[in-house]
Amino acid sequence: MSSAQETDRAREKTGDHLVRIVSEDGNFRAMAADTTELVNEVCRRQQTDLTATVALGRLVTGGALMGCLLKGAQRLALVVEGNGPLGKLSVETDANGRVRGSVRQPQANLPPREDRFDVAGAIGRAGFLHVWKDLGLKEPYRSMVQLQSSEIGDDLAYYLTTSEQVPSSVALGVELAADGSVAAAGGFIVQALPPGDIHQIAGLEAQLRRMPPSTTQIRQGKRADDILAELFHGVPFAVQQEIPLQFYCPCNRRQIEEMLVGLGRQELQTLLQEQERAQVTCEYCREVYDFDARELQELLDRIE
């Protein structure tokens, strides 16, 4: 069996997953994920071109990683809005590893820069990262930071370090196959917890520089815990959590009905009189919901 076949077999056995660990001395926590199938599914539904696939894939991976810090029914959303051709990129996730993502303009139509996909150019150099968390409180938590590099990983690290006051290093990667599909996607987040140890931090930073990209390791058949074990070589740690990751969109026909009712009587009457039907496409899963004239009239009757 070839090494490529062995890697494919390893991926079939493992699937997308996320692992969270904490060092035994309590100075660090980290999470790593293999998001290959998840990113493939999200980008297939969004019909992204190559550059948009890499950009959205990084944000999907970052969202999945940050989602592992949620509990119970808590939810997280990340939105990147820049002045580039992609417009807005969004990711939503929950504590159970269920993730969905979207991009406003899925075709960046940008050539590579220095033999790399121009993610920063596709997103735009000026813009913001919005973070929204439903923590089960009266009001959701909201935060916003300016984009630092528009490479996604740097921007998430800046948010975590400045807004959440947890010094963080974020590495996100998407590697494409010759046919444009996602060959490997994944990454990790490492966070220094108080009081921290400057010598340990320096050692981890040196190890980060020595390690191959996470996508290379995933292509080699390594799991998320293997990546963390290499990163924390010589630093004892304990695995806190391992969860499978999957694409999941909770949209359904009843939700869409409520959205249409929320438009109000006048808007629904206009749809009924001018178009005699309504067609709504989910931003995330691209499922199409059709409503004919009879169904629109039933919604109008509900309002009245």
Same domain flag for 93 and 237: yes
Residue 3: its pLDDT value, please? Answer: 45
Shared domain for 175 and 263, answered yes or no, is no
Look up the CATH number of the domain holding residue 273. Answer: 3.90.1280.10
**Whole domain around residue 17: which residue ranges?**
3-247
The residue from 210, 232, 247 where one domain ends is: 247
**153-204 pLDDT per residue, tens:** 999 999 999 999 999 999 999 999 999 999 999 999 999 998 767 777 788 8
Same domain, 65 and 211: yes
Helix axes 198-210, 224-231, angle to 10 degrees: 120
Q: Is the pLDDT of residue 232 over 50?
A: yes
* 84 and 33 belong to one structural domain: yes
pTM score, two decimals?
0.91
Q: How many domains are there within the chain?
A: 2
- Tell me what pLDDT residue 202 has: 80
9-21 tens-digit pLDDT:
444 446 999 999 9
Pair 201, 298 in one domain: no
Question: Does the structure show a pLDDT above 80 at 92?
Answer: yes
pLDDT tens digits, one per residue of 59-80: 999 999 999 999 999 999 999 9
pLDDT of residue 6: 45
**Residue 47 belongs to domain with CATH number:** 3.55.30.10
Does the pLDDT value for residue 138 go beyond 50?
Answer: yes
Domain match, 223 and 295 both:
no
261 and 136: one domain? Answer: no
pLDDT in tens, 236-293: 999 999 999 999 999 999 999 999 999 899 999 998 888 888 999 999 999 999 999 9
Please tell me whether residues 227 and 259 are part of one structural domain: no
Q: If you average pLDDT over every residue of the chain, what do you get?
A: 91
Question: Domain check: are 157 and 182 in the same one?
Answer: yes
Are residues 235 and 289 located together in one domain of the fold?
no
Do 223 and 262 have their domain in common? no
Give the per-residue pLDDT at 14: 67
Q: Are residues 207 and 265 in the same domain?
A: no
